[in-house]
Each structure stands twice: as structure tokens, then as C-alpha cells.
Chains A and B, each alone.
Chain A
Amino acid sequence: MAETKEQAPKQKQPSAPLSKWLPVVLVAWLVPGGGHFYLKRSGRGILLAVSITIMFLLGIMMRGAMFEPMRGDLLTTIIYYGGFLADLASGLLYLLTVWLGYSQPEVAGHVHDYGTKFLVAAGLMNVLAMVDAFEIVSGRKS
């Protein structure tokens, strides 16, 4: 006798209310690792805070350039807008650096180039930390 198995449709997880996750994501953006501290995941928060902050500071110490939004051909637009958004994702680190007047023109040399990449990568790592904090607050992760 053939038995037909009916697969239960995947239940969609209810998303957390905006008032619950927004402050966490906002804190996670402003302070690297801050979302994890807010959610009392201090161990992971420390690792994220230290790694992202050191990465950003190394980028500054190598005199990396900050991207500014610039239009041009498609590739230029993607690189400069993408780079700007990634820099901005570092939160207070980026805002303070810009407010304190850091302005490094793009110059040739591998150290400057690495610096620029460190600054962008620090922002992108902070995006990962923000997503992780969001997943914790919405109950998808512990």
C-alpha cells in the first residue's frame, strides 16, 4: 500500500516588532559590538568591538581614504557609493573621524591602499554584526 506523505508547509517565523529590533540594530550600527552588549552577549560583543575597532584604527593609521559618494560611469558609481555606505556602516567610528576632520586624499602606495580596504572592511564586518544582533533579537539565533 502506497503511503503518501504530505509535507507540512514551512511555517514562516513571525518577525519581531520594529520597536524591539530597531534599537538593537541602531546601537549595533553606532557602536561595533554594541548590539551584542545590549542583548547581554558580552563575550561576543567584546570580540566584535575589538576586531572591528582595531581594523578601523589600522585603516586610519595606514592613512586609508574615505569614500565619498560620486557619480560617473556605472562602475565608478557602484564603487564610490558602495565604498561610502561601507565606510558609513562603521557608525560612530566613521562619524567621529569625519567630524574630527580626517581627510585623506587617494594616493598611490600599497599601505594607503590597504588602509582604504581596512576601513571598508571594518564597516562591512559591522554590517555582519548588525545582522547577527538582529537575528538574536528576532529569536532566530541564541
Chain B
Amino acid sequence: MPKLSLSHLEAAILFALFTSVVLGVVTKKTDKERMAYGLRSFGYFVGVLFGLAWLMYLGHG
């Protein structure tokens, strides 16, 4: 199995992507709701990711 080296951002975005797909599939009842929930979940993941990243950056001074 090849070794993979990803940056923090790449790894976190991949994590958000696959987790959002699963959450969308299992949470809602219609395909439209699933799609909307998956996209919203991905958006929240990425939003929190950037928010925390800036918080840590600014916190370090």
C-alpha cells in the first residue's frame, strides 16, 4: 500500500467530505434532504476548520 502524505488542510477536507456523505445518507428521508444535509454538513465542517485555524493562528500571536 503506497504511503500518503497530506497536509492538515487536505486531510481535514477529505475527512469532512466523506463524513458528510455518510451523515447525509443516513440522516434524512428523501434524496433532496440528504443532498442538502450533506452539503450543509460539509460547509459547517469547512467553516469550523477555517475558524479554528484562524483562532489558533491569532492565539499564537
Contact = CB atoms under 8 A, between A and B. Distances in A.
Interface in A56-80: 57-58, 60-63
Interface string A34-47: 00000000001001
B19 A121 contact: yes
Contacts of B15: 55, 114, 117-118, 121
Contacts of B18: 51-52, 54-55, 125
A114 B22 contact: no
Contacts of A129: 22, 25-26
A17 to B, nearest CB: 23
A54 B8 CA distance: 18
Judged by DSSP, the binding face of A is helix
Contacts of B58: none
B46 to A, nearest CB: 16
Contacts, number: 61
B22 A61 contact: no
Find the residue from B5, B6, B18, B23 having the highest chain A CB count within 10 A.
Answer: B18
Interface in A90-142: 110-111, 114, 117-118, 121, 125, 128-129, 131-132, 141-142
B60 interface: no
Contacts of B23: 128
Interface of A: 44, 47-48, 51-52, 54-55, 57-58, 60-63, 110-111, 114, 117-118, 121, 125, 128-129, 131-132, 141-142
Given A63-B3, A128-B22, 11 more contacts: A47-B22, A47-B25, A51-B18, A51-B22, A61-B2, A62-B6, A62-B11, A110-B11, A114-B15, A129-B22, A129-B26
